[in-house]
């Protein structure tokens, strides 16, 4: 009892099997009270399983959980919450058309009459906001808040339910650098008040800048615990992957030649008629990688989909390899593919492959009319499989089984399969969205190298990514999208994170989210519409 008092969380020999998969193998973890503790590991290393066990989603086959010095066996998440654990998921669990206040008390309304509960909650939330510097307009509805503020609501929600330990799963994936800074400032305030924070992330830079300790998982096991000050990014990466990893992309300067893709004053509106892309113009040349930076949801998706003929454009022209299209004369995705434009979509589950299909069928998406695999009306399944086998070999997709259902590959291998499909056709223009999202560090290195190889072979690559590291290390030139407009153009050589961050927020003077908050209190209507755009 007394020995463990120092620890907010102590996990001893946690073991969990799923059939043949040993997801957690005698995992031990000690998290000190009031510390920020990072947990890193590749996809499938067992981080999520461990956190799910801690949060009561799964039960361990063996092992012990102590929270704040007391042993627990959680059978559901309510018990974990009662023990003082709060979790902020990667995807927020908020009701969009409820106010902040309503969202926070959801599930703990406190009696049949809402008014009483609401008043009490308002008082408590105001106190929490003051104490931790977590200011949010309690009466704003969620859909008017920026992603950063929504995340703040999630944190408030956990604290309101009495969390003494906060688990955050990839919290910065959706934030601008400035929002990330703000989040880390909040972490600091929470830490000062004695809250323990567990941060699950794959961004080693963040681990280095914010955590006190860091634990590394690999293949279901805890492979190392380090004091953050005593380690380095290189060491952590090596521990995660199990071998030396190059964090820097090896490339010679680019050599842009004739433009293969010319975009002039392109605008795109969505189904509701809201303009998502405004007056975007740029050129993409043979032999260069053009990076498109921006906080996700600022028009990158629409740009990729308009360029590949998936969504109609409202105005402007696009010239692909000498073929022109505009709103009245669109080119269809299959036609563009024929011309030599390939597209690796941002979201592989939504668009890149068909999870219910076998790998060989997914490897056919976009090319099912290819005469090489069709003889007459017959689609040769043998040739389809051979094609997939070849793709798997060239991109080292594992397991190399064309019959396996696409959903059953890990994220990295799915991504490699899509990249193989699009890149092995040797297209002249390649559009790539988020090529390394959810991909292991080892595979990231490989993917980046293949992109550079394509560039060096004289192809034109448009790279859309929310990872600034990736944009800066792979691109030759960078454009930044903010609110559907190009808010900055810069050579990769001149770019740094801060400049890009400011371009992404479309403000050369840094914005202070707290400042906007206060404005909102003064005149909520106007300010909240401003928030939506941020």
Partner 1 sequence: MKRDTRITWINRLLLPLLNILTAFAVTAIVFWLIDVNPIEAAEVLLYGAFGYEEGIGYTIYYTTNFIFTGLAVAVAFHAGLFNIGGEGQAYVGGLGAGLAILFLDPTLGAWVFIPASIIGALLFGGLWALIPAYLQAYRGSHIVITTIMFNFLAASLMVYVMVHVLRETGQMTPQSELFPTNAWMPFVHDVAAGFGYSIEASPLNLSVLLALVCAVLVWFFLWQTRWGYAIRATGKNGTAAVYGGIKPKRIIIVVMCISGALAGLVSVNELVGYQHRLIMDFHLGYGFGGIAVALMGRNHPLGIIVAALLFGTLYQGGAELAFEMSGISRDIVVVMQGLVILFCGALEYMYRPWLIRNLAPVKQQEAPTGVTA
- Shorter beta-carbon distance to partner 1: residue 121 or 420: 420
Query: What letter would DSSP give residue 405?
Result: B
Q: Is 490 left (phi over 0), alpha (psi -120 to 50) or beta?
A: beta
Contact 395, 418 (CB under 8 A): no
- Shorter beta-carbon distance to partner 1: residue 22 or 122: 22
Grouping H, G, I as helix, E, B as strand and the rest as coil, residue 147 is: helix
Q: Does 308 bind partner 1 (CB under 8 A)?
A: yes
> What's the closest the beta carbon of residue 47 comes to partner 1, in angstroms?
13
> What's the closest the beta carbon of residue 290 comes to partner 1, in angstroms?
21
CA–CA dist 457, 428 (Å, integer): 10
Q: Identify the bridge partners of residue 317 per DSSP, sorted by sequence position.
A: 264, 326
Interface residue with partner 1 among 98, 160, 357, 446 (CB under 8 A) is 357
Q: Does 353 bind partner 1 (CB under 8 A)?
A: yes
> What residues between 47 and 66 interact with partner 1 by CB under 8 A?
49
Interface residue with partner 1 among 34, 188, 330, 333 (CB under 8 A) is 333
CA–CA dist 199, 202 (Å, integer): 10
Interface residue with partner 1 among 343, 416, 437, 448 (CB under 8 A) is 343
> What residues between 66 and 85 interact with partner 1 by CB under 8 A?
none
Q: Does 356 bind partner 1 (CB under 8 A)?
A: yes
Contact 209, 188 (CB under 8 A): no
Give the pair of three-digit tokens for residue 513. Answer: 């989210």
- Shorter beta-carbon distance to partner 1: residue 238 or 370: 370
- Shorter beta-carbon distance to partner 1: residue 26 or 335: 335
Part in contact with partner 1 (CB under 8 A); list of ranges 62-70, 168-176, 245-253, 327-335: 327-335
386 contacts: CB under 8 Å, gap ≥ 6: none
434: phi then psi, degrees, rounded to nearest 5: 45, 60
Query: What letter would DSSP give residue 15?
Result: E
Interface residue with partner 1 among 135, 202, 337, 437 (CB under 8 A) is 337
- Shorter beta-carbon distance to partner 1: residue 384 or 500: 384
Interface residue with partner 1 among 364, 451, 472, 503 (CB under 8 A) is 364
Query: What letter would DSSP give residue 443?
Result: H
Q: How many CA atoms lie within 13 A of 148 on its CB side?
A: 26
Q: How many CA atoms lie within 13 A of 368 on its CB side?
A: 11
Query: What letter would DSSP give residue 142?
Result: G
- Shorter beta-carbon distance to partner 1: residue 311 or 444: 311
> What residues between 19 and 48 interact with partner 1 by CB under 8 A?
19-21, 23
Query: What letter would DSSP give residue 253?
Result: P
Query: What letter would DSSP give residue 328?
Result: S
Q: Does 352 bind partner 1 (CB under 8 A)?
A: yes
Q: Does 223 bind partner 1 (CB under 8 A)?
A: no
Q: Does 339 bind partner 1 (CB under 8 A)?
A: no
Q: Does 303 bind partner 1 (CB under 8 A)?
A: no
Give the pair of three-digit tokens for residue 295. Answer: 């906080």
Part in contact with partner 1 (CB under 8 A); list of ranges 5-13, 182-190, 377-385, 470-478: 377-385
Interface residue with partner 1 among 335, 383, 425, 450 (CB under 8 A) is 335
> What's the closest the beta carbon of residue 454 comes to partner 1, in angstroms?
20
Part in contact with partner 1 (CB under 8 A); list of ranges 73-81, 95-103, 318-326, 370-378: 370-378
- Shorter beta-carbon distance to partner 1: residue 345 or 501: 345
> What's the closest the beta carbon of residue 408 comes to partner 1, in angstroms?
7
Cβ neighbour number for residue 399 with a 10 Å cutoff: 12
163 contacts: CB under 8 Å, gap ≥ 6: 81, 84, 85, 86, 195
Q: Does 365 bind partner 1 (CB under 8 A)?
A: yes
> Per-residue x/- mask for partner 1, residues 386 to 425, rule CB under 8 A?
-------------x-x--xx-xx-----------------
CA–CA dist 16, 50 (Å, integer): 9
DSSP string of 213-226, one letter each residue? EEEEEETTEEEEEE
Q: How far apart are the first and last CA of the chain?
A: 48
CA–CA dist 215, 222 (Å, integer): 7
- Shorter beta-carbon distance to partner 1: residue 52 or 520: 52
Q: Where are the beta strands (DSSP E) in 257-306?
A: 259-269, 275-285, 288-293
52 contacts: CB under 8 Å, gap ≥ 6: 58
Grouping H, G, I as helix, E, B as strand and the rest as coil, residue 351 is: helix
Q: Does 332 bind partner 1 (CB under 8 A)?
A: yes
Q: How many residues bind to partner 1 according to rule CB under 8 A? A: 41
> What residues between 423 and 442 interact with partner 1 by CB under 8 A?
none
| Footprint of partner 1 (CB under 8 A) | 18-21, 23, 49, 308, 310, 332-335, 337, 343, 345, 350-357, 361, 364-369, 374, 377-379, 381, 399, 401, 404-405, 407-408
């Amino acid at each position: 009892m007394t020995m463990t008092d120092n620890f907010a969380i102590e996990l001893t020999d946690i073991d969990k099997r799923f059939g043949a998969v040993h997801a957690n193998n005698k995992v031990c973890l000690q998290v000190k009270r009031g510390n920020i503790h990072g947990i890193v590991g590749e996809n499938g290393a067992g981080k999520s399983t461990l956190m799910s066990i801690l949060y009561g989603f799964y039960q361990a086959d063996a092992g012990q959980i102590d929270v704040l010095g007391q042993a627990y066996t959680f059978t559901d998440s309510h018990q974990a919450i009662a023990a003082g654990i709060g979790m902020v998921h990667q995807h927020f669990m908020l009701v969009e058309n409820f106010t902040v206040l309503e969202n926070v008390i959801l599930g703990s309304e406190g009696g049949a009459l809402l008014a009483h509960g609401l008043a009490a909650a308002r008082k408590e939330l105001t106190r929490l906001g003051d104490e931790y510097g977590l200011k949010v307009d309690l009466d704003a509805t969620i859909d008017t808040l920026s992603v950063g503020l929504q995340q703040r609501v999630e944190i408030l929600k956990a604290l309101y339910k009495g969390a003494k330990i906060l688990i955050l799963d990839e919290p910065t994936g959706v934030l601008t650098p400035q929002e990330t800074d703000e989040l880390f400032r909040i972490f600091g305030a929470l830490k000062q008040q004695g809250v323990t924070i567990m941060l699950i992330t794959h961004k080693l830079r963040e681990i280095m800048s914010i955590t006190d300790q860091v634990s590394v998982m690999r293949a279901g096991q805890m492979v190392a615990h380090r004091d953050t000050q005593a380690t380095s990014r290189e060491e952590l990466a090596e521990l995660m992957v199990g071998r030396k990893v190059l964090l820097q992309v090896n490339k010679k300067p680019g050599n842009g030649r004739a433009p293969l893709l010319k975009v002039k004053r392109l605008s795109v509106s969505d189904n509701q008629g809201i303009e998502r892309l405004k007056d975007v113009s740029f050129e993409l040349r043979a032999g260069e990688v053009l990076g498109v930076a921006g906080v996700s949801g600022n028009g990158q998706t629409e740009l990729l989909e308009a360029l590949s003929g998936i969504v109609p454009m409202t105005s402007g022209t696009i010239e692909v390899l000498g073929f022109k299209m505009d709103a009245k004369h669109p080119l269809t995705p299959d036609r563009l593919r024929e011309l030599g434009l390939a597209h690796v979509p941002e979201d592989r589950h939504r668009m890149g492959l068909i999870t219910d299909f076998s790998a060989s069928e997914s490897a056919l998406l976009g090319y099912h009319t290819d005469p090489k695999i069709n003889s007459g009306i017959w689609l040769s399944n043998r040739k389809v499989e051979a094609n997939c086998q070849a793709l798997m070999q060239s991109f080292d997709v594992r397991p190399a089984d064309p019959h396996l259902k696409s959903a059953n590959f890990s994220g990295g291998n799915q991504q490699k399969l899509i990249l193989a499909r699009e890149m092995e056709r040797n297209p002249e223009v390649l559009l790539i969205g988020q090529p390394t999202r959810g991909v292991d560090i080892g595979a990231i290195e490989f993917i980046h190298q293949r992109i550079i190889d394509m560039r060096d072979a004289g192809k034109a690559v448009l790279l859309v990514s929310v990872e600034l590291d990736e944009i800066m290390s792979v691109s030759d030139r960078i454009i930044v999208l903010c609110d559907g407009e190009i808010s900055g153009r810069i050579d990769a050589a001149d770019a740094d994170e801060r400049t890009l961050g400011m371009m992404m927020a479309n403000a050369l003077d840094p914005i202070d989210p707290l400042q906007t908050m206060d404005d909102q209190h003064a005149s909520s209507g106007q300010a909240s519409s401003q928030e939506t755009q941020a």
